[in-house]
Structure 1
């Protein structure tokens, strides 16, 4: 009898973990069922709004000065966010786009009597534009922020959620101005199409919460193999 009550208790604790609501059509989501086919995306659906790539400390840029090969070179931004090149001198590159840095170098060269300088900047390697993901993912760490990085893409880069992840407790920490902000997200709801996959940006910190219920189930299975069979049968 005692085993029976333990099984019922564990089943109640884990009921929310094993049930999954079916997809439903809402104002934000259209569900195509049965033999219907999803319509193909339009051209505008295949491209998203561009996000400017910013230069930061320790990034590597390629500087090309048209018709002045001696000034063209690959430069690594120093730890303070600056670069140094002949004639142009020391220039603050931190927080600038490639186009903005090119314009700044052109102005510096023009001041040194270089006639009509034309500068092109390419970001060859970016180590400053990264997002941190921690908590219950398979591979926590730092991941580069691509042009259209989102929460689900970061989780996928980290090889997905771990066994003990709490899907409704995912936090994005972000600094806006001088204010520290946090957004709470439900990965399961995003997968169900309840709301959009939120974008993430450089310097965001993502923390995936821990599920005590999943750990309890793991411990229960390991300590009580005889009870685990009836429990699994009930959950199925």
Structure 2
């Protein structure tokens, strides 16, 4: 297997996915020509619903933004709005996130949006630390109910040697540690104790 499949086993071009709205996500709903629905900010409640004038309560959890747009459009038509022109955009993701851990400046959970990739996730975590081993970056993912991992060379991805892998909600990214560089830093920190030149060779893989 040359690549880590998506959560449903999809590979290649099929790895692109539509963001699915979840509880507590923040959306912007805009309906042209209706003042009460102009750039209206709403938060999905714990049951997966939003409440809008005319449309009423709309179930949006589990829908893509396009599907949510269609559902709101249908309910506005049911409320006697003729040919509503609806746009739904994601303002803030709360329900979908990726975990970035290991040798990054700010480990933690980060909202995942369509198009999130490995490089973008590491950048969101304020980049790799000086001790990061970029050749050992691991992505953990559940694929069809099985836990799978894949090892990536982030330096090679940055050079364009191969594609920047797409991430999915609940992925865990772990940036490896370079013991050699860490040891060298520790040695340098006590170097005033040495009375002769300090020479060290670092393995290029570290």
Question: TM-score, structure 1 length as denominator?
Answer: 0.63
User: Which of 61, 65, 72 does residue 27 from structure 2 map onto?
Assistant: 61
**SS in structure 2 at match of 1:102:** helix
Find the aligned partners of 1:84 and 1:162 in 2 and give their Cα distance.
44
Q: 1:180 to 1:152 in 2, by over 3 A?
A: same
Residue of structure 2 equivalent to 1:174: 141
Residue of structure 2 equivalent to 1:41: none
**SS in structure 2 at match of 1:153:** helix
Deviation at 1:118, TM superposition (A): 1.5
Find the aligned partners of 1:196 and 1:135 in 2 and give their Cα distance.
22
Find the aligned partners of 1:229 and 1:130 in 2 and give their Cα distance.
49
Q: Within 5 A, what are the aligned runs for 1:67-86? A: 67-70=33-36, 73-86=40-53
Q: Can you list the C-alpha shifts for 1:169-218, whole angstroms capped at 9, x where unaligned?
A: 21112233433332211223334444222122333221112222222222
CA RMSD of the aligned region, Å?
A: 3.1
1:164 aligns with 2:155: no
1:187 aligns with 2:154: yes
Q: Within 5 A, what are the aligned runs for 1:116-155? A: 116-128=82-94, 129-155=96-122
Q: Which has the higher helix share?
A: 1
Find the aligned partners of 1:178 and 1:50 in 2 and give their Cα distance.
19
1:220 aligns with 2:194: no
User: Which of 51, 54, 57 does residue 90 from structure 1 map onto?
Assistant: 57
Q: Can you list the C-alpha shifts for 1:34-81, whole angstroms capped at 9, x where unaligned?
A: xxxxxxxxxxxxxxx986343222222233445554466432111332
Mind listing any 5+ residue stretches in structure 2 that lack a counterpart? 1-14
The answer to whether the Cα contact below 8 Å between 1:143 and 1:157 also exists between their aligned partners in 2 is yes
The answer to whether the Cα contact below 8 Å between 1:54 and 1:96 also exists between their aligned partners in 2 is yes
Provide the aligned length of Structure 1 versus Structure 2.
Answer: 185
Find the aligned partners of 2:196 and 2:83 in 1 and give their Cα distance.
74
The answer to whether the Cα contact below 8 Å between 2:101 and 2:108 also exists between their aligned partners in 1 is yes
